[in-house]
Structure 1
Amino acid sequence: MLTTLSIKNYALIEDIQMNLKDGFTIITGETGAGKSIMLGALSLLLGKRADFSAIRDADKKCVIEGTFDISSYGLQGIFASEDLDYETHTIIRREILPSGKSRAFVNDTPANLSSLQVLGERLLDIHSQHETLSLGDNEYQFLVIDSLAGNSEKLKTYKESLKELKSLQKKLHNLKEEQAQATKEYDYNLFLLTELQQAKLEPGMQEELEERYEELSNVEQLTEQLGGAINLIQQEEIGAAASLKEARNNLQRIAGISSNYQQLFERLQSVNIELDDIASDLESYLDKVEANPEELAQVNDKLQVLYNLQKKHMVSTVEELKSIQEDLAQKVSVSENAEEEIAKAEKEITAQKEVLQKQAAEIHSSRNTVIPKFIKEVETILADLGMPNASLKIELEKQKEFFPNGQDKLSWLLSANKGGSYNDIRKAASGGELSRIMLAVKSILATYSSLPTIIFDEIDTGVSGDIAQKMAVILQKMGNSMQVIAITHLPQIAGKGSSHFKIYKEDAAHSTITNIKELKEEERVEELAMMLGGKNISDSAVAHAKALLN
């Protein structure tokens, strides 16, 4: 429950603090006094985004701080999952700095807004005036039924399964698009692939073919030059080999005189051996050189195929052609194997739909189970609130489609008068009737949840007299099991509170500020008397006020 609320430098509020108790707390004040400002500040503690324009004095920071007694609500797991320090008396603080930046803290540990929102859902429910209209909102209607049915975990599992189904459906969609594109280009890609495959591309083949082409194209020159080189080396008496041997023999005769001559002899001996090897290789190459017009034509044809492929694909190497061949093979494969992949994806989707249908059936069953009891409880409360002939009908119809919260279509229909027809609840109920229905729903939800605090912002809109008195009894009864705070203009409701705060405006030196104070017994009588009869308080109004308090 909320035990203290401190607001500094926010809108018309300079510095106020409320010390709140359990049970049923009343907040009253004239229109425009600042009740909505207090709710706005409280919303900041629940993770609402900050508005810099709400700062009263732009040179100072705005601070909103709330202390919550959560000792009996088992929220340790929530704190752990949000990586926050758990304290039985937890302090949530929001700061809006003059720079426009906003900061949040939970027990002095910095926190992000999403963490505040997660905590806020477990700490506090603020029912504003416009929320009454949400009775006709299908999402809210499901929220009420699912809360009563305890469907939280079932819905979480269902939503994860639905996410998986949508992922599979997207995969199938992409496969079909790829297949359509691949089919459109299949024949052309297959032609290009076959053309490359027939070329039997291998790394380095272009260099080898070009070298062989040069050899076959220059047979005459090779024969002439190789033969000439052999003749110059091996010619008798004047050939390079004969001259080298004679020089070697000359050095051999003086090698014993000095190591220098010995080294020269050995070097010349090595040259002689190398020259013999060269001559042998020259003869070997010369033997292999022969004109082969047929092979020359074949090599030329292969090179032309390579050059044409490189020109067609705008590349300059065999390696690049190989890469293009692999890419084309992948595209052709996609087209050829698409049907198999699509069939596999469709089978996965069918299986996932079966899982979802089973989960949705469990959700539908639990909803169906709680609806009759919920209808009976709402109608009982409405009878106490002056709507004895009100009849609520909740239709739950299973659909084939998968919705974000199951396969159900939900409709809340109301017949407000005896013998009347059922219509959509938004059309069938007046503003005052909607307020009473919302109070009935909230009071039932309160018995099912362990929410510490609920705040009603003028839940009494459109009602008065005896109905207001009965609404007050229900709010007071709710206060027996949780902290209930009601902002009201009705004295019948204000008189039922176990504590009472008044919000009022007063003029300061250079501005108007909003203040709040807890009323004592005598002050409560005066406040109720003013609510009953205006500023000119009569004796009868005072007597009536005392009767309401008693």
Structure 2
Amino acid sequence: MLKQLYIKNYALIDQLDISFESGFSVITGETGAGKSIILGAIGLLLGQRADSKSIKQGAEKCVIEAHFDLSRYEMKAFFDQNDLEYDGDDTIVRRELTSAGKSRAFINDEPVALSLMKELGDQLVDVHSQHQNLLLGKQDFQLEVIDIVADDESLMRRYRESYERMHATECELENMRQEIARNQQQADFLRFQYNELDAARLVDGEQDELEQKQERMTHAEDIKQALYEADTLLMNESVGAVGALRKAASSLRSIEHVLPELKDLAERLNSCYIEAKDVATDVSGQLEDVDFDPAELDQVNARLDKIYDLEKKHRVETIDELFSLRDNLKRQLDAIDNSDESLSSLEQRLSEERDVAKQLAEELTKKRLEASRLIYKQMIASLQLLGMPRVTFQIQIDKADLGPKGQDRVAFLFSANASTPLLPISQVASGGEIARVMLSLKALISGVVKLPTIIFDEVDTGVSGKIAEQMAQMMSEMGHHGRQVISITHLPQIAAKGCAHYKVYKEETDNGTKSHMLRLNHDERVNEIAQMLSGSDISSAAIENARQLLKINEND
């Protein structure tokens, strides 16, 4: 429940720090006093988008902070899952806005994303405004009400997972059919391309090898001339380097007995001679191997031209890319050739997944039908108490195609009296009737969903007298068992029913208009309710009537 609300520099509020109680509380105040400002501030704590214009004029920063007591609610798992510190007795939610347009959100003083604040806010407070009454005509809202009462969250999760699998398979099947159709249209062309590449009999590394061979054969004469010159310089009998090295080494050995230090030089020259002789032998061998064959060069050039033509045609640069293209074409052709088998397999899988989804949807329908009977009984009882003795309310559930929420199409049918046929509620119910229907639904839902705090914003629009008393009684009962219900109201019958009464008012100062909120004591409540009964000129009769209203409610 909301324990404390602190607001600073928001709209017309300089600073507000006020505590709240459990049970049923009321907030009153003249139109334009600032009640909507209070709700706007709470909305920011629930993750709504912020507008820097809402910051009080002249202020650089706005702070809105609320303290919640969550000790009676099993919410620790949320904090654990999101790695947040948990304090069930005092959970702090804070929102800060700056005039520069920046917004920051905090949970227990830890910075969090706005989406996480909204996720928590949805579990802390439900704000019901007149605008929410418009939801009553929406099928999604009606279905949500039924699912809440049916308590089918686990089943709904299983169905949604099944439906998503089925939907994904449907998309996969459709994509496969489109791909098969496209491939079949160009199958002949794909086969021609593949056959051309396959017939080329490409070999890994072939292009590099052919290019090197082409380079050698193109420069065969240059190679042969260089090898011949090298061979001559090494092996010529008169000037050959090999013979000269041999003779030099022999000369040094012939005198090494006279000059022993020449022995090392002789050995070194001999090593040079041996190495040069090996080189000369290799050069001679290479020279003999050099053989220019124009016909072979033509073959090499023709093969390279074939490879280059294929690369150019398919807009690639290497033979490896041609291999990849060939293999990809083969896969596409295999897919075309095996398309019937693949399609049949996927259709079988889709059929099985659809059967599972239908079975779960049937279970959902069964639970919803059971819940609709419970809702019917409680709604009839509640609406009769709220001044509709001849009301008829019915939930119509028709079968539809499988969708994200099952196979059910829901309609809330309503008639306020016996002479009016049952029709969709948004078509026949007046504003006051819709308000009473929504309050009855909220009372029903609140018994299932243990929300810590429910705020009603002028839910009493269009009602008065005895009906207002019954609405007050219903909201008061909703506030039992530790739940907190707050009603913003213009009706004295509802204002008198609250265990705590707060007033919002505005004040004109030299610095502009300011909004305030305070908790009323007993005498202040008497005056406020008397004013609601008689207007600005409070009569003694209104005072006495106000006292009687409060006394009756104190004795309840």
Q: Where on the TM-score scale, by shorter chain, does this alignment land: which range? A: 0.7 to 0.9
Between 1:300-309 and 1:390-399, the stretch displaced more is 300-309
Residue 198 of structure 2 contacts residue 326 of structure 2 at CA under 8 Å; is this kept in 1? Answer: no
Look up the match of 2:334.
336
1-structure distance, mates of 2:118, 2:233: 99
Q: Is the counterpart of residue 142 in structure 1 residue 123 in structure 2?
A: no
Displacement of 1:437: 0.7
- State TM-score, norm by structure 2: 0.87
CA contact (8 A) 1:392 1:414 kept: yes
The equivalent residue for 2:322 is 324
Match of 1:17 in 2: 17
CA distance in 2, matches of 1:213, 1:111: 68
Q: Which residue of 1 aligns with 2:502?
A: 501
Residues 316, 322 of structure 2: 8 Å contact kept: no
Q: Which residue of 2 aligns with 1:540?
A: 541
Decide whether the 8 Å contact of 2:394 with 2:412 is kept in 1: yes
Separation in 2, partners of 1:336, 1:467: 75
Contact 1:135 1:141 in 2 (8 A): yes
Structure 1 residues 234, 448: closer, same or farther in 2, change over 3 A? closer
- Establish whether residue 373 from structure 1 lines up as the match of residue 374 from structure 2: yes
The alpha-carbon deviation at position 357 of structure 1 amounts to 2.2
Distance (Å, rounded) in 1 between the aligned partners of 2:222 and 2:54: 97
Q: Give the superposition deviation at 1:219.
A: 9.0
How far residue 8 of structure 1 moved from its aligned partner, in angstroms, is 2.0
Structure 2 unmatched ranges of 5 or more:
none
Shift of 1:245: 6.2
* In 2: Cα distance, 1:533 partner to 1:96 partner: 41
- For the Cα contact (< 8 Å) 2:412–2:424, is it kept in 1? yes
Within 5 A, what are the aligned runs for 1:2-41?
A: 2-41=2-41
Secondary structure, aligned partner of 2:83: coil
- Assess, with a 3 A threshold, how the Cα gap between structure 1 residues 309 and 263 changes in structure 2: closer, same or farther: farther
1:97-496 to 2 correspondences below 5 Å: 97-206=98-207, 208-209=209-210, 250-259=251-260, 261-263=262-264, 265-266=266-267, 269-270=270-271, 273=274, 277=278, 298-313=299-314, 320-338=318-336, 339=339, 340-401=341-402, 403-481=403-481, 482-496=483-497
What is the SS of the residue equivalent to 1:17? strand
Question: Is 2:9–2:59's contact at 8 Å kept on the other side of the alignment?
Answer: no
In the comparison of the two structures, how many residue pairs are matched?
546
Contact 2:307 / 2:319 at 8 angstroms: preserved in 1?
A: no
Q: Distance in 1 between matches of 2:236 and 2:516?
A: 126
Give the equivalent residue in structure 1 for 2:531.
Answer: 530
Give yes or no for contact 1:201–1:322 (8 Å, CA) kept in 2.
no
Q: How much has 1:262 moved relative to structure 2? A: 4.1
The residue type equivalent to 1:466 in the other structure is: K
Does the 8 Å contact 1:186/1:332 carry over to 2?
no
- Counterpart CA distance in 1 for 2:237 and 2:2 is 121
Matched, 1:74 2:64: no
Alpha-carbon displacement from aligned partner over 1:469-499 (angstroms, at most 9, x marks no partner): 2222222222223222111111122222222
Change in CA separation of 1:294 and 1:84 when aligned onto 2, cut-off 3 Å: closer
Deviates more, 1:359-368 or 1:254-263: 254-263
Closer/same/farther in 2, CA of residues 469 and 208 from structure 1, 3 Å limit: closer
How far residue 182 of structure 1 moved from its aligned partner, in angstroms, is: 4.1
Residue-by-residue CA offset, 1:236-275 (whole Å, 9 max, x unaligned):
8898877776666555533433356545554554565556
Change (3 A) 1:266 1:191: farther
Task: Tell me the distance in 2 between the aligned counterparts of 1:497 and 1:211.
Answer: 98
AA of the residue aligned to 2:51: D
Deviation at 1:287, TM superposition (A): 6.5
Aligned letter for 1:256? H
**Between 59-68 and 162-171, the greater mean CA deviation after superposition:** 162-171
The CA deviation at 1:97 is 2.7
Unaligned runs of 5+ in 1: none
Q: 1:90 is matched by which residue type in structure 2?
A: T
Q: Which moved more, 1:421-430 or 1:77-86?
A: 77-86
Q: 1:115, CA displacement in angstroms?
A: 2.5
Q: What one-letter code is carried by the residue in structure 1 that aligns with 2:118?
A: Q
Alignment partners' CA distance in 1, 2:519 and 2:221: 120
Deviation readout 1:139-195 (Å, 9 max, x if unpaired): 111111111111223223333333333433444444444444444444444434433
How far 1:418 moved relative to its partner?
A: 0.3
Percentage of identical aligned residues: 40
| SS of structure 1 residue aligned to 2:53 | helix
Tell me if structure 2 keeps the 8 A contact 1:179–1:334.
no
Cα pair 2:194 2:329 within 8 Å, conserved: no
- Secondary structure of the residue aligned to 1:201 is coil
Q: Do 2:468 and 2:493's aligned partners in 1 also have CA atoms closer than 8 Å? A: yes
The DSSP-based 3-state class of the residue aligned with 1:322 is helix
Moved more, 26-35 or 65-74: 65-74
2:221, 2:46 → 1: CA distance?
96
Cross-structure match for 1:520: 521
Q: In 2, are the aligned partners of 1:252 and 1:262 still within 8 Å (CA)?
A: yes
CA–CA distance in structure 2, aligned partners of residues 253 and 194 of structure 1: 75
The question of 1:49 aligning with 2:49 is answered: yes
